Amino acid sequence: MRDKLLAGAGALAAVLFVRNLYVMFMQIGDEVDQGAIYRIIYFHVPAFFTAGMCYIASMLASAYTLWKKDLRADAFAMSATEVGLAFAAVNLLTGMIWGRIIWGIWWAWDPRLTWALISWLVYFGYLGLRKAIDDPSERANISAVVNIFAFTSVAITWKAIVWWRTQHPAPVLSIRGADGKIDPAMEAMIYTNWIPLLLMATIFIAIRLRQERALRELDAMRRWAHST
Amino acid sequence: MIRFLKLTMAVAGKDIRSEWRTKESLNASIAFSIVVLLLFSFAFDPASESTKEFAGGLLWLVFMFAGALIVNRSFARELPNDCLDVLIASPLPMAALFLGKAIACFTLLMVIELISLPVFGIFYDITWWNQPGWLMLILTMTTWAMSVVGTLFSALTVNLRLRELMLPMLLYPMLIPALMAAIQLTTVVLTTDPVGGDNYTWVKLLVGFDIIFTSLSLALVDFVLVR
């Protein structure tokens, strides 16, 4: 049943994705100043949103881990962070490609870009820390605290374009109070393309969780084998 | 509340006293920061005018390297003779233990910074007393940020196999907001320019960082120490 659900979600994501590609290339025109390359925003922004969702989910799961001492929540936090890192990497890479075309440089050390990179490194450190702790409940405890700390960098990344004058474009989306800066059809496309990415993230997390469960079962079996 | 403060100060006093008697990490950190200052002078020309533009950055890198040495010892010091287990089992509130250790780290770090600052001024020909009020404010706030986050991460990593490696790897990225603010502001303060305009954003960031991370650490320290 679960397999079918996941496969169904994957099929839905694929169909939506193809439809979005058609609309963004065939129906929505080029941007006046930037030409065709602006379309990267349809991947850049939704990838950041998806990564943000993963980070929020993993932060909440970490808080739950501390509260209830639940190892399954810990496994979820880890899976969500790994998937979030992948989407954050998509966000960084698409941003760099866009920057190469529009700014002429791959990277600019402005607060928004820097903090996006910091968040990436902080979460990478979180995953590294997990590898260094053997005892499962200690690992859950310690990494959950680090995860909650790590989330502050995501919050700063989100607000960086408001707090500083950055080279990264200032907010254009109406959800951030910037009405009329972007064509409604273009803004709608950003959200529409977010849906398949979110579906993909959900599938990845589910698969990663399954691996983690298998790993725990193996571990239990190994311990049982050693004890008899 | 009074009892809590007393306990906090007792822990801080204990840490500072034991450090003062052995001076093992204090001496090492001071020597280390001077060595790093010396090494930086090979990386570029210390006599050039442009040095002033990244003097703030240099200074804080040195302080952060030295700070990692200090906070690393903060909890590791309690490992021999199972002192840490005794401290955790004692009726001391964990928040008091944590805050006391953070205060001890803060004091030691301030000592190191105040010793390295004149050395830095001499080696790099920088007048650092142009705006002493602002400088002290930045030093205090950033050092507190380093101590409070550093002490928490020291508690987190105290039992790990790769403690010396894990602590900086986790600590440095987490400290970047405070560090960026400190570097920006220190560079301004080392010149005669007044702090204002865009730089207030950095002051606000520093204050926010201190408040958020102090409360977050105090809220989470029980989960870190009591297993």
Neighbour-count burial of B200, counting CB atoms closer than 10 A to its CB (0-12 exposed, 13-18 middle, 19+ buried): exposed
SS (H, E, C) A172-186: CCHHHCCCCCCCHHH
Residue of A nearest to B153 (CA): A146
Q: Is the pLDDT of residue A180 over 70?
A: no
Query: How many Å lie between the alpha carbon of A176 and the closest alpha carbon of chain B?
Result: 20
Q: Is the pLDDT of residue A63 over 90?
A: yes
pLDDT at residue B109 in the model: 93
CA angle A172, B203, B211 (to 5 degrees): 95
B81: alpha, beta or left, given left = phi > 0 and alpha = psi -120 to 50? Answer: left
pLDDT in tens, B10-41: 999 999 998 889 888 888 888 888 888 888 88
Q: Is the pLDDT of residue A140 over 80?
A: yes
Q: For A2-227, CATH number?
A: 1.20.120
Q: Which residues of chain B have pLDDT under 70?
A: 227
R_g over Cα of chain B: 18
Which chain B residues have any C-beta within 8 angstroms of a chain A C-beta?
A: 149, 152, 156-157, 159-162, 166, 169-170, 173-174, 176-177, 180, 198, 201, 205, 212-213, 216, 220, 223-224, 227
pLDDT in tens, A204-216: 999 999 998 898 8
Query: Do the Cβ atoms of B201 and A163 come within 8 Å?
Result: yes
Query: How many Å lie between the alpha carbon of A112 and the closest alpha carbon of chain B?
Result: 12
Q: What is the dihedral of CA B167, B172, B174, B179, to 10 degrees?
A: 140
pLDDT at residue A134 in the model: 82
* Residue in B176, B213, B227 nearest the CB of A141: B227
Residue listed under structure tokens 């030691």: B108
**Would you mind telling me the total number of residues written for chain B in this entry?**
227
Query: Do the Cβ atoms of A129 and B170 come within 8 Å?
Result: yes
Q: Is residue A11 within 8 Å of residue A197, measured between CB atoms?
A: no
* Residue in A66, A133, A152 nearest the CB of B212: A152
**ipTM passes above 0.90:** no
pLDDT in tens, B96-120: 999 999 999 999 999 999 998 888 8
Query: Do the Cβ atoms of A142 and B161 come within 8 Å?
Result: no
Q: Is the pLDDT of residue A71 over 90?
A: no
Q: What does the domain layout of chain A look like in residue ranges?
A: 2-227
Query: Do the Cβ atoms of B169 and A148 come within 8 Å?
Result: no
pLDDT at residue B227 in the model: 64
Q: Is residue B155 within 8 Å of residue B225, measured between CB atoms?
A: yes
pLDDT at residue A51 in the model: 94
Query: Do the Cβ atoms of A66 and B173 come within 8 Å?
Result: no
Query: How many Å lie between the alpha carbon of A39 and the closest alpha carbon of chain B?
Result: 32
Q: What does the domain layout of chain B look like in residue ranges?
A: 2-225
